[in-house]
A and B are shown apart, each in its own frame.
Chain A
Amino acid sequence: EAGVAQSPRYKIIEKRQSVAFWCNPISGHATLYWYQQILGQGPKLLIQFQNNGVVDDSQLPKDRFSAERLKGVDSTLKIQPAKLEDSAVYLCASSLGTSTGEQFFGPGTRLTVL
């Protein structure tokens, strides 16, 4: 079974630029998550989708971050404009059901904002 795919793996941008990350979850997984992992910390949930609807986006900085999951499969996370403090690894995860349980994580995208 293929795992969660993410691209790009690495991205370096200057502050105030925009950037987008892509995630392809495991086939058949209804729930998709985006996490931000700052160096030295555990992942922090940004947004959770169930199919193509948003379940929880309470920790998403909506003035600069946006995410969509059109057609309930792939998802993109965008940052516009980026700030220095956005430097982190952005992890995508998916799970079969809707209740919290085993989540399968992708390898992440490491973003460096200069």
Chain B
Amino acid sequence: KNQVEQSPQSLIILEGKNCTLQCNYTVSPFSNLRWYKQDTGRGPVSLTIMTFSENTKSNGRYTATLDADTKQSSLHITASQLSDSASYICVVSDRGSTLGRLYFGRGTQLTVWP
């Protein structure tokens, strides 16, 4: 069964600190993995996308890593800001899906305190 698991479920950090969010998946055959950021009351917005051959990808203070062998990904946030407070959702798609169906993790709720 295709599944995506995220940890931790929630996280509180102080402004300026770094943090790392985890994602494990069983989706097969793997196509790509995205991290989405969802602000409260908004729709999710894509932060990064990683394909099978990519190990690391950065988007400003966000750096995603992918280990396709162990089926794990992480999202590292550097020098956190108050605006980073949001839910971060790991989303995996499979190569067998021509219609773009996605498998969603339940998200990590990040709160950044001043």
Instruction: Please say whether chains A and B are actual partners in one complex.
Output: no
What residues of chain A have their CB less than 8 Å away from a CB belonging to chain B?
none
What residues of chain B have their CB less than 8 Å away from a CB belonging to chain A?
none
